Chain A
Amino acid sequence: MTVTTQDVRQALNELGRLRFGEIRVDEAMHQIVETTHAIFSVDGAGLMLADAEHHLRNAAVSDERVRHLEELQIRHQEGPCVTAFDDKVMVGAEDLTSDPRWPAFGRAAVDRGVQAVLASPIPYNQDAVGVVAVLSRERHPWSAEAELALLAFTDLAALLIASMMMGEQQNELAAQLQTALNSRAIIEQAKGVLIGQQGLSAHAAYEQIRAQARAERRKIAVVAAELVAGAVSRPDPAS
């Protein structure tokens, strides 16, 4: 598979009408995903958005395998899309069978027919709100052209999300994203508390908050709010 600049330009021109059209958000997302799938000639493309628990949930998929990707990443709490979302960088995995970054997820993913993934974080207002990802069922090196193409599609997804969030008609998805953004803000503060108190790295701090939430079966934002409240020693404003 090769992605050419010309293919991408043409696709973006076609998708450009999404900006102005009277199209529903879920339809627009679906079109982005379908076009991405076609351009990349991959085995699947998906657009995932964070929920309040910071799990990446599929908003639009082009193939069943993307559902496996969603499910396995939530189960194992790791994966290329999770890393792309958490670290806000584009993440490419050309062969999950031998990738040391996500050992548990990688094995399970290969069993389900997902061997290579390229994931790009969707930015919105100084935060990540989700990812755009493509996957292959075979080993697949991702070229610079592919990375650039995915960046371009990510911009389009970001545009769509921004118009949804700033639009007057707030729908359910916009509300879900706003909740996710609010919880992310409090989690960032809690990370800051742990970094200051225990000298942890940002990543280790996040892991600790997430582990505590999981162990206590409570919402990650609630645990984070308690940490922040404890640090400034005032009554618990959680939930």
Chain B
Amino acid sequence: MTLLCFPSDLPARRTAGSAEALLVIKVEVSQDSATVVINGELDLTTQPLLIERLSPVLRTRPRRLVLDLAGTSFIDCGSARLIASAVRFVPEDSRVIIRHPSRAVLRVLELTGLDLDCEIEGAP
């Protein structure tokens, strides 16, 4: 099993001693399964990072893709749509699992229709 861990390399424009709360996306790839753990908030400014992290995962053509959103405190419409289009790249018989979304995050996933293509595990 390979373990890839990327620190966030977002250019933080917030100043004045803000140390916390930047987005961190960890990717774990094993034989035919991949887990993406997202800690922080997904918005317009984090979409490039999200694409950068998801693309190599999709290239492994995982049979099982888990998106762990337990630490995802916010998702905007654009990021939800981005994940939805990424999900379409996994092989057809693969399972995509959204794990532990918060109520607010799940609502956005429902509204954008992503929940239809995925299994929700540990709904709030």
Please give the residue numbers on chain A whose beta carbons come within 8 Å of chain B beta carbons, in ascending order. 87-90, 121, 123-127, 144, 147-148, 151-152, 154-155, 158-159, 162, 165-166, 181-183, 185-186, 188-189, 192, 228
A-side interface mostly? helix
Complex Cα spacing A155 to B44, Å: 8
- Tell whether, in the assembled complex, residue A88 and residue B73 are in contact, meaning their CB atoms are under 8 Å apart: yes
* Chain-A contact segment, one of B58-66, B90-98, B103-111: B103-111
Shortest distance from the beta carbon of A238 to any chain B beta carbon, whole Å: 11
With A124-B45, A126-B22 as contacts: A151 and B77 at CB distance below 8 Å = yes
- Tell whether, in the assembled complex, residue B41 and residue A123 are in contact, meaning their CB atoms are under 8 Å apart: yes
- Tell whether, in the assembled complex, residue B111 and residue A185 are in contact, meaning their CB atoms are under 8 Å apart: no
Q: Identify 19 new A-B residue pairs, CB closer than 8 A, beyond the known A88-B74, A125-B43, A151-B112.
A: A88-B73, A89-B103, A89-B107, A123-B74, A123-B76, A125-B45, A126-B21, A126-B23, A126-B46, A127-B14, A144-B110, A148-B77, A155-B44, A158-B43, A162-B44, A181-B13, A182-B16, A185-B16, A186-B16
Q: Which residue of B lies closest to A127 (CB)?
A: B14
With A127-B14, A162-B44, A181-B14 as contacts: A154 and B74 at CB distance below 8 Å = no
> Which residues of the partner chain A approach B2 to less than 8 Å between Cβ atoms?
none
- Tell whether, in the assembled complex, residue A89 and residue B13 are in contact, meaning their CB atoms are under 8 Å apart: no
- Tell whether, in the assembled complex, residue B14 and residue A126 are in contact, meaning their CB atoms are under 8 Å apart: yes
A147: contacting residue among B12, B43, B78, B111, CB under 8 A: B111
B18 within 8 Å of A (CB atoms): yes
- Tell whether, in the assembled complex, residue B17 and residue A185 are in contact, meaning their CB atoms are under 8 Å apart: yes
A186: contacting residue among B17, B46, B110, B111, CB under 8 A: B17
Complex Cα spacing A127 to B18, Å: 11
Complex Cα spacing A33 to B22, Å: 30
With A89-B104, A155-B76 as contacts: A123 and B20 at CB distance below 8 Å = no
Closest CB pairs A-B (n = 7): A123-B43, A185-B18, A89-B104, A182-B16, A151-B77, A148-B111, A125-B45
Q: Which residue of B lies closest to A91 (CB)?
A: B104
> Which residues of the partner chain A approach B101 to less than 8 Å between Cβ atoms?
none
B31 within 8 Å of A (CB atoms): no
Within 8 A of A (CB), among B17-54: 17-23, 40-41, 43-46
